Amino acid sequence: MTKFIKSIAIAAIAMAAVPAVAAPEAPAAQPCNNEIILHAWSWSFNTIREHLSEIKDAGYTIVQTSPINECYVGDNGGRQLFGNGKWYYHYQPTDWTIGNYQLGTRDEFKAMCDAARALGLRVIVDVLPNHTVIDRTKINPRLDKAVGGRENLFHANGLWPIKDYSDRYQCTTGEMGTLPDVNTENPDFQHYYMTYVNDVLACGARGFRYDTAKHIGLPDEPRDPKSPQNDFWDVAMGRKAVKGLRLAIPRDSLFIYGEVLQDKNVPEKGYAEYMDLTASNLGWVLREALNKHNAKAGDITSWHHSVDPLHLVTWVESHDTYCNEHASAGMSDELIRLGWVYLTARQFGTPLFYSRPHGSTRQNYWGDNEIGKVGNDEFKHPLVKAINEFRHRVAGQGERVSFSDNGKQIVVERGAKAFVVINLDEQAADVALPVSVQNGKYRDAVTRARYQVKKGELKATLAPMTALVLYK
């Protein structure tokens, strides 16, 4: 049997002593994150609408789209993820209006949002006000006119490449990866951009992911010569109006997070004043542990962030880690799934599931290689569905996280009557796991097999590379 030691106990639930004649009080609900995001990466609006019932059934509460703005048409309008067409062309805005040749029209976007709302799902949109298309000849003249001419569209430093990303002036005003840096502090641009944002909300979206958010300066950061004040985030979050225009829906009613990838000299707490943030360092540490099949390969209990985990978006992988240099693309679906079980079982962080391309394998990362097509079936895998449901059922319950002495097994307990066991071992493992949940019989949500906790211990034979989702 594998020895098992307790490594961390967080937010355990305790009940106050009461007189014997009184009914016991239920433990107070604890702070936690209940949302679950599906990143429907490169799915078209019609494809998302066609699969909304499956998304709902799989336990997600939020659907994140790829950028829906007018974008660069390259490779003669090809629609491959990579090759004759590129997935990242929709990250090269030519204008801030709804609809593009890759994902669909404004009417199709609205129809998708309407259908999502009818099912109780929220749609959030990936937005990118920080930069335009690389080929500046492709910028829509309408945008130039709106901002008072091309000379007002970019920062004074906006066509100079960033050489030092820890230099906040360069990072927030310079050209990132050949992408020209927009003067986000120009009131004319802000008004034009917020017109787009409000149209997105009018169509039914209820939140945003801000791409490259750390490249837009905070109020107290260095200013570009063209920027009288760094007030973009105050405008974008509805704290102030621009030329009489304000965010159409109160900020508190929207789910908004920023891609603030962690690095030295990034003012994380400053950005957290405006939005939730990505826990990118946790993703790296978790992937290392998964690849080594050892939960102790790094401290995965830590959130590796200076911000309260209630305001973090977590992932095993993102579209960037999958596509850019394929940092996570070589990981098996089974490994990604186990990492997802771990993140989703936890009390804090809002987990985001990245939908890999349909037909993708570890030898062919692009799979069917079609923009607009549904991703592979992993987003609705039985274990993924089971852990999503687990998150909803244990909402408000505290967590306890522990590991085996060899790091091959992980236990996440939520409250007193539900827990998850993850086996990272590539071999079957006989284990005896000390747990704090109540003694008694438990049933696995996937296999329906029964297990027993006796005298504070679960003895079981765990199949390789899988997990149990257990309820009393």
Q: Which residues are catalytic?
A: 211, 259
CB-CB neighbours of 286 under 10 Å:
25
Q: Are 52 and 116 in contact (CB under 8 A)?
A: yes
Q: How far apart are CA 285 and CA 407, in angstroms?
A: 14
Q: Which distant-in-sequence residues (6+ apart) come within 8 Å of 401 by Cβ?
A: 7, 8, 9, 10, 301, 346, 410, 411, 412, 413
Read off the tokens for 250: 């109160």
Q: How far apart are CA 436 and CA 419, in angstroms?
A: 10
Q: Are 53 and 45 in contact (CB under 8 A)?
A: no
* H-helix or E-strand spanning residue 155: none
- Spell out the alpha helix ranges (H) of 215-318: 232-236, 268-272, 280-291
137-140: list long-range contacts, CB under 8 Å, 24+ apart. 138/72, 138/73, 138/94, 139/94, 139/95, 140/70, 140/94, 140/95
Name the DSSP letter for residue 93.
E
Secondary structure tally for the chain: helices H, strands E: 12, 21
CA 165 to chain centre: 23
Q: Are 472 and 441 in contact (CB under 8 A)?
A: yes
| CA atoms within a 13 Å half-sphere pointing along the CA-CB vector of 221 | 25
Residue 62: helix, strand or coil by DSSP?
strand
Q: How far apart are CA 396 and CA 118, in angstroms?
A: 26
Name the DSSP letter for residue 377.
G
CA dihedral 45, 48, 49, 54 (to 10 degrees): 180
- Spell out the alpha helix ranges (H) of 17-167: 45-50, 52-57, 106-118, 141-146
Q: How far apart are CA 35 and CA 388, in angstroms?
A: 10
Read off the tokens for 124: 């959030």
Ramachandran region, residue 75 (left: φ > 0; alpha: ψ -120 to 50; beta: rest): left
Q: Are 413 and 437 in contact (CB under 8 A)?
A: yes
Read off the tokens for 361: 């394998």
Q: Which amino acid is at 396?
A: G
